[in-house]
Amino acid sequence: MARKTSQRIGNIFRWQMGLRPRWPDALPPQKAYPQVTPAPGECCVTFIGHATVLLQFGRTGRAPLRIITDPVFSERCSPFRSFGPRRARPPGITFDALPRIDIILVSHCHYDHMDLPSLRALAERDDPLCLSLPGNRRHLEKAGLPRIAELDWWESTSDDGARITATPALHGSARTPFDANRALWGGFTIEADGHTVFFAGDTAWGKHFDAIHRRWPHIDLAILPIGAYDPRDLMRRVHMSPEEALMAFDTLRAKQGLPIHFGTFQLTDEAILEPPTRLEFASRGAGRPFRALENGESLTLPPADTKS
């Protein structure tokens, strides 16, 4: 098994080093969206870019509870400053404009999800709790995070009024060619102020979505990856296509969906606008509330007592 994993990683590396259609070097300026603040009972969700999402839960008489997923604000998702996938779009919220973060969720240790410079900056500024999965602490400690907790699949913890549970995923992990799958990967379900939000992290399509639905039959928002899927023979075991992400959304029976993991870093062969275009086409006519947001755009979940 270890040999097969090493061979597969080697195949992916050789493919990534080869020629493939490149995303454009220059994109039109993106629209500037106003930052949102939740009213008591609301949950405001802002897509910052790639797998970075800001969740703000409004609380009466207190500052909102703010949770960020897989924060990456660096120019590249790479161990090198001048080599590796470069950001095609800026973050929808700059780091300097980012409000104080209470909890960080890190789904796994790939560079496009665990960015140590961003984590270090958050640690120095906000003193947050960081939640990840077993085996990732040794990486996260390098960022100087003051509080780190590892949750195995289905394990939960409570902090600042939120209950957070680690969930399964079909993916993998590595930060070098020599540490493949030595740290676990997964997603998280957040329950706070009457809202249930599921963040899938990075995953292929699988039966784990049905298991998650059985545990949380009333998910308000499912945050699901839709990009980095071509070529399929290499990617199908670790990443969903847009059509598979739609299958996952339907399996979870979530009230709303938020696509992530597209349009920021070129990790695979598909064109920059292909994932949300394919998702929109697959969803056409079904009325599913599962559409892509622009970087910096937000949606608001209403208070629990007003949900229909």
Q: What is the DSSP string of 207-270?
A: THHHHHHHH-S--SEEEEE-----SHHHHTTT---HHHHHHHHHHHT-SEEEEES-SSB--SSS
In this prediction, residue 7 has a pLDDT band, given cuts at 50, 70 and 90, of low
Of 259, 264, 266, 258, nearest in space to 242 by CA: 259
Task: Give residue-wise pLDDT tens across range 35-66.
Answer: 999 999 999 999 999 999 999 999 999 999 99
Q: Pick 231 or 11 by higher pLDDT.
A: 231
**Helical residues (DSSP H) of the chain, grouped into ranges:** 2-17, 116-126, 137-140, 208-215, 232-235, 242-252, 274-283
In this prediction, residue 19 has a pLDDT band, given cuts at 50, 70 and 90, of very low
What pLDDT is attached to residue 12?
A: 57
The angle formed by the CA atoms of residues 158, 124 and 31, to the nearest 5 degrees, is 85
Is a pLDDT exceeding 90 seen at residue 186?
A: yes
Task: Give residue-wise pLDDT tens across range 102-113.
Answer: 999 999 999 999
Is a pLDDT exceeding 60 seen at residue 266?
A: yes
Rounded CA separation 25/284 (Å): 31
Domains of the chain: residue spans and CATH: 38-293 (3.60.15.10)
Q: What is the mean predicted confidence (pLDDT) over 209-224?
A: 98
Rounded CA separation 241/225 (Å): 8
Is the bond into 231 cis (omega within 30 degrees of 0)? yes
In this prediction, residue 9 has a pLDDT band, given cuts at 50, 70 and 90, of low
Rounded CA separation 126/161 (Å): 18
Is a pLDDT exceeding 90 seen at residue 2?
A: no
**Helical residues (DSSP H) of 141-204, grouped into ranges:** none
- CA 181 to chain CA centroid, Å, is 19
The pTM (predicted TM-score) of the whole model is: 0.93
Is a pLDDT exceeding 90 seen at residue 153?
A: yes
Strands 43-49, 52-59: parallel, antiparallel or unpaired by DSSP? antiparallel
In this prediction, residue 72 has a pLDDT band, given cuts at 50, 70 and 90, of very high
